[in-house]
Copies of this chain bind each other. A is one copy, B any other.
Amino acid sequence: MPLHFVLTATCNSKYPKGSNFYNMVLTHTEENYLKAIFKISEEDGNETATTNAISAEMNTAAASVTDMLRRLSDKKLINYEKYKGVTLTKEGKSVATALIRKHRLWEFFLVEKLHFDWDEIHDIAEQLEHVNSPELVTRLNDYLGNPRFDPHGDPIPDENGNMPVREQVSLLRLKPGEVGKLTGLRNNSDQLMKYLKKNSIGIGTKITILEHHEFDESLSVKIDDKQEMGLSNKVSKNLLVQTE
């Protein structure tokens, strides 16, 4: 019998004594803020991450963000001037990419080894990414065969934080007759993933353009030389493919 619970819990870790700049132990929360700032900064057009953008990304009140920005600034993880928005420092960026590396390695593990589907892994990886053990990351990476892309096609940063880059365009840009191999999604929405899964479309799937429909800008396509189907404009726009 489902009762209505309001659940609040803080997942605090302790600060070990003797932590210095380079082995600073951050709280899960601080780590999540850094990831959010990184994500916002990556979004095209964003010079700096604003308080409101972070507030939206983190689902917290703007006032809470301001609080945290002061703290992250004190720790030299961000460059912060009141009212100006923030950027990550070198150190902050390094923390953020290390988190993303862990997140995506764990996602790869969950799909490759534990046979989860790509729409089931994100929330688990959100937890696993906070496990702090450099040796674990190294061994996990080796165990997985040093993968370069996660199950959503997102690049996995290497030990130094460098992301592999890849040429990919929206499926919408291909002309009839052209073929694209699905390499990523523009946004990793669960609904989109479930929809694609239902239609046997996943990373690596070969998609051939049959026709562009002017009226609603949708596509007719052929999937892996098997079924033909229509793809709405909204779906096609979100599919990133490599040609040839």
- Which residues of A pack against B, CB within 8 Å? 1-15, 18-21, 25-30, 32, 110, 113-116, 120, 123-124, 126-128, 130-133, 135-136, 139-140, 143
- Least CB separation from A3: chain B residue: B20
- Least CB separation from A27: chain B residue: B9
* Interchain CB contact (< 8 A) of A11 among B4, B13, B136: B13
Distance to closest chain B CB from A117 (angstroms):
11
Q: Is the CB of A114 within 8 A of B131?
A: no
A128 partner residues in chain B, CB cutoff 8 A: 128, 131
Q: Is the CB of A7 within 8 A of B1?
A: no
Task: Given A3-B3, A124-B136, decide whether A10 and B27 contact each other with a Cβ distance below 8 A.
Answer: yes
With A and B bound together, what is the CA distance between A9 and B9 in angstroms?
4
Q: Is the CB of B32 within 8 A of A19?
A: no
With A and B bound together, what is the CA distance between A10 and B9 in angstroms?
3
With A and B bound together, what is the CA distance between A2 and B2 in angstroms?
10
With A and B bound together, what is the CA distance between A128 and B124 in angstroms?
11
- Least CB separation from A19: chain B residue: B5
Task: Given A2-B20, A20-B2, A127-B133, decide whether A7 and B15 contact each other with a Cβ distance below 8 A.
Answer: yes
* Interchain CB contact (< 8 A) of A13 among B13, B126, B133: B126
A133 partner residues in chain B, CB cutoff 8 A: 123-124, 127
